[in-house]
Amino acid sequence: MNASDLNPQHRVKDVRVTDERLFVDLEDGRTISVPLEWYPRLGKGTPEQRANWQAVGAGWGVHWPELDEDINVPALLQGKPSTEFEAAQIRT
pLDDT digits (tens, 9 = 90+) for 34-84: 999 999 999 999 999 999 999 999 999 999 999 999 999 999 999 999 988
Within a domain: 86: yes
Q: At 19, which CATH number?
A: 3.30.2020.40
* Domain assignment of residue 85, yes or no: yes
Instruction: Tell the burial category of 57 from Cβ atoms under 10 Å away from its Cβ (0-12, 13-18, 19+).
Output: middle
**Rounded to the nearest 5°, which phi and psi values hold at 73?**
-60, -45
69 in any annotated domain: yes
Among 2, 72, 65, residue whose Cα is nearest residue 32: 72
Is residue 2 situated within a structural domain? no
pLDDT reported for residue 79: 93
Range of the structural domain that residue 19 is part of: 7-91
Domain total in the chain:
1
Task: Report the pLDDT value the prediction gives residue 1, as an integer from 0 to 100.
Answer: 46
Q: Is 51 a member of any domain?
A: yes
